[in-house]
Every structure is written in structure tokens, then in C-alpha cells.
């Protein structure tokens, strides 16, 4: 019931961690150490990466200086000017007590034109020698990127310096109490990762209808650090989602073409030919609320689809690649769009507020084709969605979807070598927590009703 917060940061070098003794982890949790951080020192020494430092906390954030001036020119004295709205090179140089000649010498140098567009928040660092002459100018564009101008006679040469952040893995897990979104927040997951998690499993799990209390999730994801300060949250590396007692696993893999996707541990693509839920689930205001009632318009006979109650205007997507075979209006259907996918499949979208495609148009999976409305015979705004296989209506929520692009046999070895350490790591984390037995909590009925 409670959301387990387990925070562990581990090195990206999965291979080193896979042999990390599990009893250490257990001991650590036994002594009540709720923050177990396995971290690496910065990558200054490649060999140092081979070692795991145990129980090292991420250093407190410090203001990183992309270029340490004393390393470059110890004799210079330094001042800084932050770019504000309306600043130019002249105003910055004036504030730094430099002259129009200095401005001219820098701006007329070969890369001086790169200083024409300045953005608020950028930093200039001025390195002066002992007679007050500008020797070095650092244009710090971000924590990772800066350009260094160095005096050469009466002009300046320049070079760009780019710092590489350290990427570490972090772990989170949670158990659904009321909604995926709320449980994700309680597990301290940024919005971006909650959405990414749902998108990874969106082909297998209907996040509108199928989420149940005691469903659970766990994930390993990347975080980028620079000198101990967190710069950004990266992508999910591996994740599990247990829905109604069935556990789905996904792991990220970049194939030999350089294309990144999520796969099952066996190398089947998580991405299927059809979306399970053909609308933007994050725009449903109740946010997967399990107590939400879905208005099923039972009065309409031969109801052969699924109804997704959603606010008017919620984006509706094509469930798969295909061609629009009909887009029009009828008294019963309201605004509707039908999409043909190959020879076998047709999907239908009814009661749209607006149609966003025309008959004959090709559409891609997840392409916007309309918005949720209540046109035609509808009691309130909802998407009525139908899925036909060889002309026969099938339940969109349970129909077996065709598999898309598994890892080719020739690449399977490389796939497993890369992904298995990550999956092991994910499993090890899960094993150290006080995870409630969600397997036993299958199919708790929460008041949502089936819509066939």
C-alpha cells in the first residue's frame, strides 16, 4: 500500500555491479540505511571506473566552473559578468572596466561573430594580466559548453570547450494506490519519467482501463551529473510493470543501426503495430483515477467498441500506421475517422469534436487524427474506439496485437550481452525492498466497468 522509496544511485558500469554481493545490500538496508548510494568518482581516470565505491553520497551541489582558470593561466586575475536582458558585448566589457578597443579586438577576431547573439544567464569571465590587459575571455554558454578566446597580439583565437557529464543510474519503485501519476509522484519520479514509463508499456497495458490498486512498477533510469551536481534526468534504462498480477519487463537497447528502442528481455519490441489506447492518456484530467466512472451509453445497441471518457479536446491518435478510408459526419457517429492498416485491420474513432485528417491521407502511429468530443449519439465527451480484424469487431483492450520488429537473430547475442546486466541490476534492487506481494493482488475490481 505504501510507496516504497528506495533510492540508490549506481554506476553506469553495469558489468561491475552485477557481481556486487547481494548480502551487502541487505545488510545495508538492515542497519536502516535508507540511502544507499553506490557511486563512482568522476571519470577523470578510466581505471578508477573499474572500482565501486560503497556508500558514497553524491556530493553536495557546487557551482561547477567549466574551466578552472588557475589551470589555464595562473597569472591572470579574473572577474565575471552575467548576461542580462539587453546586454551586448559593449555593456559587459564596460561593466568589466574594459575599453572599446578591447571590444573591437575581440569582436573583430575570427570567431568574434559568435558573440553577436548573447542570451540572458550566460556568463563572461575576464582574465586580466598584471597590467590590466585582457588575455583570456571565457564565454560560458551553459554548464557544459563554453568558448575560450585567447589573446594573440592584437587579436584573439578561440576554441570551444565541451564537458561530458557523468551519467549515473538511479532506481525507483512504487505501488499504485489511486493513480499511476500520483503514485509516481509519491515515488519521487519526475513527470517526464512517469510519462516515459507509461509510454514504454502503452502497447501492453491500457492505462485508462486496466490499472488496478496494488499494480506496481520499478525502474532504472539515467541521471547526468557534473562535478556532483545533478544536471538533468535522462531516460529509462530498464523497467518492470506489474498489472493485475502479470509482470511486463522492458529494457532499452540501441541496435547496430544506432536506433534506440525498448524490448522484452527476449528481444521482442515493446512497440507494437497498434497502440493499446488511442488517445493521450495524460490529458485525461482524472489521471488514471481508479474511482472514476466511465459513462457507457448502454442505450445504443450493438455497441462494439470501447468508450474512453475524456475531456473535450483531448488528442486522439491513430493506433497504427495506415490510411484514412473515411472521415465524415453521421447522425449516430458524429464526426468520425476510419483508418485501414494493411489488409487485415481497421480502426474507427467516433464522436470526435474535430477531425484532423482527410479521406485518403496516410497516417503514422500516434499521429493526431482528431479530438475527443460528443458529436452524434453521445451522452458526454468520450472517444468511442473500434478495432476490426478481417472485418470482424474485436475487443481493442484484449485483442492480440501483431508483433513489431524483434531483434534480428544475428544481433541477439549482442542484445543479451548489453541488456542482461541491466535487467539483473533492476531485479537486485527489487529484491532488497519490502515490496508487497503484488502477484497475489491480481484483479482487484475498482469500479471501472468493461465497455463491451
CA distances from 395 to 209, 305, 401 (A): 13, 7, 11
Query: In this complex, which beta carbon is closest to Zn ion, that of residue 384 or of residue 429?
Result: 384
Q: Which stretch binds Zn ion (CB under 5 A): 30-38, 83-91, 192-200, 304-312?
A: 304-312
Q: In DSSP terms, which residues pair with 147 in a beta bridge? A: 139, 160
Q: Which is nearer to Zn ion, 138 or 355 (CB)?
A: 355
Cβ proximity to Zn ion: between 221 and 349 the closer is 349
* DSSP 3-state of 147: strand
Sequence length of the chain is 452
Please identify, among the stretches 120-128, 170-178, 384-392, 421-429, the one whose residues bind Zn ion according to the rule CB under 5 A: 384-392
From 2-10, 37-45, 305-313, 332-340, give the range in contact with Zn ion by CB under 5 A.
305-313
Least Cβ distance, residue 446 to Zn ion (angstroms) = 21
354 close to 375: Cβ distance less than 8 angstroms: no
The site string for Zn ion over 136-165 (x = CB under 5 A, - otherwise) reads: ------------------------------
Angstrom distances, CA of residue 211 to CA of 102, 132, 206: 64, 67, 7
Q: Is 172 in the site for Zn ion (CB under 5 A)?
A: no
**Distance in angstroms (rounded) separating the CA atoms of residues 219 and 187:** 11
- Give whichever of 142 and 379 is closer to Zn ion, judged by the CB atom: 379
The H or E element that residue 260 is part of is: strand 260-263
**Nearer residue to Zn ion within complex by CB, 272 or 384:** 384
Question: Phi/psi at 392 (nearest 5 deg)?
Answer: -105, 130
Q: Residue with CB nearest Zn ion?
A: 384
For residue 11, the surrounding DSSP H or E stretch is strand 7-11
Q: What's phi and psi for 368, nearest 5 deg?
A: -65, 125
CB of 286 to Zn ion, least distance (A): 19
Task: State the minimum distance, in angstroms, from the CB of residue 279 to Zn ion.
Answer: 13
Residue 296 beta carbon to Zn ion: minimum distance, rounded to whole angstroms: 7
Q: How far is the CB of 371 from Zn ion (least distance, A)?
A: 16
In 3D space, the residue among 280, 298, 315, 247 whose CA is nearest the CA of residue 450 turns out to be 298
Q: What angle do CA 140, 145, 146 make, to 5 degrees?
A: 40
Task: Give dist(CA 349, CA 337) in Å, integer.
Answer: 5
- Of 55-63, 217-225, 378-386, 419-427: span binding Zn ion (CB under 5 A): 378-386
Q: Is 386 in the site for Zn ion (CB under 5 A)?
A: no
For Zn ion, the closer CB: 72 or 296: 296
Nearer to Zn ion, 284 or 426 (CB): 284
CB of 347 to Zn ion, least distance (A): 14
| Residue 328 β-bridge partners | 336
CB of 452 to Zn ion, least distance (A): 10
- Our CB check for Zn ion shows the closer of 215 and 307 to be 307
CB of 350: closest distance to Zn ion in angstroms? 7
User: How many chain residues touch Zn ion (CB under 5 A)?
Assistant: 2
Compute the least distance from the CB of residue 366 to Zn ion, in Å.
22
Exposure letters 247-281 (e unless 16+ CB within 10 A, then b): ebbbbbbeeeeeeebbbbeebebbbbbbbbbbbbb
| Torsion angles phi and psi, residue 341, rounded to 5 | -120, 105
Q: How far is CA 277 from CA 37, 69, 191, 203, 308, in A?
A: 38, 54, 20, 8, 9
Among residues 212 and 384, whose Cβ is nearest to Zn ion? 384
Is the C-alpha dihedral spanning 41, 47, 50, 52 positive or negative? negative
Q: Is 384 in the site for Zn ion (CB under 5 A)?
A: yes
For the bound state, the minimum distance from the C-beta of residue 215 to Zn ion, rounded and expressed in Å, comes to 26
Q: Which residue of 3, 307, 337, 345 would you call a contact of Zn ion, by CB under 5 A? A: 307
Q: Which one of the spans 43-51, 180-188, 379-387, 406-414 is the region binding Zn ion (CB under 5 A)?
A: 379-387
Q: For residues 295 and 360, which CB has a smaller minimum distance to Zn ion in the complex?
A: 295
What's the closest the beta carbon of residue 355 comes to Zn ion, in angstroms?
Answer: 17
What is the per-residue DSSP string for 377-420? Answer: S-SSSEEEEEEEETTEEE-TTTSPPPB--PPPGGGHHHHHHHHH
Stretch of residues binding Zn ion (CB under 5 A), selected from 34-42, 47-55, 60-68, 376-384: 376-384
Binding segment for Zn ion (CB under 5 A), chosen from 152-160, 307-315, 319-327, 387-395, is 307-315
Question: Contact residues for Zn ion (CB under 5 A)?
Answer: 307, 384
Amino acid at each position: 500500500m505504501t510507496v516504497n522509496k528506495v533510492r540508490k544511485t549506481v554506476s553506469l558500469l553495469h558489468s561491475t555491479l552485477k557481481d556486487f554481493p547481494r548480502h551487502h545490500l541487505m545488510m545495508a538496508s538492515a542497519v536502516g540505511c535508507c540511502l544507499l548510494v553506490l557511486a563512482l568518482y568522476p571519470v577523470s581516470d578510466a581505471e578508477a571506473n573499474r572500482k565501486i565505491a560503497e556508500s558514497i553520497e553524491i556530493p553536495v551541489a557546487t557551482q561547477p566552473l567549466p574551466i578552472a582558470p588557475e589551470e589555464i593561466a595562473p597569472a591572470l586575475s579574473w572577474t565575471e559578468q552575467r548576461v542580462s536582458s539587453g546586454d551586448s558585448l559593449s555593456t559587459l566589457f564596460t561593466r568589466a572596466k574594459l575599453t572599446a578597443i578591447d571590444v573591437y579586438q575581440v569582436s573583430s577576431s575570427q570567431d568574434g561573430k559568435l558573440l553577436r547573439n548573447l542570451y540572458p544567464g550566460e556568463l563572461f569571465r575576464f582574465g586580466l594580466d598584471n597590467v590590466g590587459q585582457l588575455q583570456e575571455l571565457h564565454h560560458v554558454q551553459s554548464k557544459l559548453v563554453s568558448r575560450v578566446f585567447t589573446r594573440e597580439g592584437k587579436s584573439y583565437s578561440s576554441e570551444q570547450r565541451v564537458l561530458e557529464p557523468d551519467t549515473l543510474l538511479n532506481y525507483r519503485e512504487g505501488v499504485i494506490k489511486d493513480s499511476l501519476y500520483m503514485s509516481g509522484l509519491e515515488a519521487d519520479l519526475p513527470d517526464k519519467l512517469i510519462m516515459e514509463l507509461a509510454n514504454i508499456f502503452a502497447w501492453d497495458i491500457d492505462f485508462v482501463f486496466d490499472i488496478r490498486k496494488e499494480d506496481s512498477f520499478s525502474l532504472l533510469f539515467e541521471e547526468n551529473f557534473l562535478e556532483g551536481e545533478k544536471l538533468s534526468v535522462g531516460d529509462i534504462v530498464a523497467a518492470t510493470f506489474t498489472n493485475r498480477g502479470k509482470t511486463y519487463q522492458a529494457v532499452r537497447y540501441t541496435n547496430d543501426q544506432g536506433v534506440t528502442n525498448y524490448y522484452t528481455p527476449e528481444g521482442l519490441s515493446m512497440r507494437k503495430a497498434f497502440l493499446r489506447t488511442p488517445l493521450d492518456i495524460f490529458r485525461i484530467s482524472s489521471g488514471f483515477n481508479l474511482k472514476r466512472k466511465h459513462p457507457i451509453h448502454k442505450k445504443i445497441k450493438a455497441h462494439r467498441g470501447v468508450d474512453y471518457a475524456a475531456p473535450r479536446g483531448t488528442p486522439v491518435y491513430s493506433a497504427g500506421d495506415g490510411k484514412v478510408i473515411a472521415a465524415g459526419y453521421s447522425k449516430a457517429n458524429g464526426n468520425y475517422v476510419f483508418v485501414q492498416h494493411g489488409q487485415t485491420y481497421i480502426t474507427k474513432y467516433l464522436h470526435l469534436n474535430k477531425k484532423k485528417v482527410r479521406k485518403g491521407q496516410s497516417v503514422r502511429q500516434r499521429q493526431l487524427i482528431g479530438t475527443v468530443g460528443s458529436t452524434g449519439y453521445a451522452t458526454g465527451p468520450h472517444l468511442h474506439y473500434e478495432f476490426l480484424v478481417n472485418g470482424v469487431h474485436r475487443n481493442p483492450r484484449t485483442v492480440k496485437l501483431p508483433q513489431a520488429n524483434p531483434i534480428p537473430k544475428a544481433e541477439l547475442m549482442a542484445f543479451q550481452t548489453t541488456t542482461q546486466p541491466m535487467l539483473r541490476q533492476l531485479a537486485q534492487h527489487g529484491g532488497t525492498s519490502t515490496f508487497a506481494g503484488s502477484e497475489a493482488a491480481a484483479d482487484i475490481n475498482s469500479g471501472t466497468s468493461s465497455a463491451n
